[in-house]
Structures are given as C-alpha cells and as structure tokens.
C-alpha cells in the first residue's frame, strides 16, 4: 500500500479537544469532566496532550459533543502512528509480503 507521505505535524486529540471545543465554549476541564462523569485528571491530561483518548473517553466525548467515537479514536490512531518512535526501524526490518493476484476466478 503506497500512500503519499503526509508531512503535516501530528495533532494530538487533546489539542482538538482544547482548541475546538473547550476554548470556544469557554468550558473548563473540570466542567467537562463533571459532564462526562470522569475524573478531572483524565480530561486535564488529555487536554495537555499527555494522555491518549481511550474508547471509553471517545464514546463519552461523542455523546456529549455529538459526532461519533470512531472520529475521536481515528484522531488518536493517526497521532499514534505519526509519533511511533520505532516506525523507521519497523520499515527497515520488516519486509512486505507480496501475494500475487490470482487469475483463477472459479
């Protein structure tokens, strides 16, 4: 699978949460945590980009703000892949397996 390389900086979901939701809504981390029913430390750590979004948190954010949990999880997965410290090493050491397409369509 050859995809174009995306050279944009990785964006942590916490930045999205902070800049696209908390700041415009003038909402505190504590208020969001209370609304979601989670510890304030969880939301604080996510907003400071020190903690990942879990499926549980993604579901709560989607329920509260609208949208879907998959979008939040997609943001986290994209960030994790772009910041994977062993990515270059994996690409050097692991050879892709080539499976020739079959011509027999029975």
Sole residue written with tokens 């993604």: 58
- 28 within domain boundaries: yes
- 42 within domain boundaries: yes
Give the pLDDT confidence score for residue 1 in this predicted structure. 45
Distance CA 93, CA 81 (A): 17
The total number of structural domains in the chain stands at 1
End-to-end CA distance of the chain: 26
Q: Among 106, 27, 103, which residue's Cα sits nearest to residue 64?
A: 27
- 50 within domain boundaries: yes
Distance CA 37, CA 21 (A): 17
- 17 within domain boundaries: yes
Tens digit of pLDDT per residue, the chain (106 long)? 455 555 788 999 999 999 999 999 999 999 999 999 999 999 999 999 999 999 999 999 999 999 999 999 999 999 999 999 888 888 889 988 887 787 766 6
- 105 within domain boundaries: no
């Amino acid at each position: 699978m050859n995809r174009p390389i995306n050279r944009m900086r990785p964006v942590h979901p916490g930045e999205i949460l902070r800049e696209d939701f908390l700041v415009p809504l003038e909402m505190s981390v504590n208020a969001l945590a209370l609304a979601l029913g989670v510890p304030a430390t969880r939301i604080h750590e996510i907003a400071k980009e020190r903690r990942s979004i879990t499926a549980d948190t993604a579901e709560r954010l989607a329920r509260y703000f609208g949208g879907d949990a998959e979008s939040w999880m997609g943001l986290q997965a994209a960030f994790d892949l772009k910041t994977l410290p062993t990515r270059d090493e994996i690409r050097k050491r692991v050879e892709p397996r080539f499976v020739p397409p079959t011509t027999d369509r029975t």
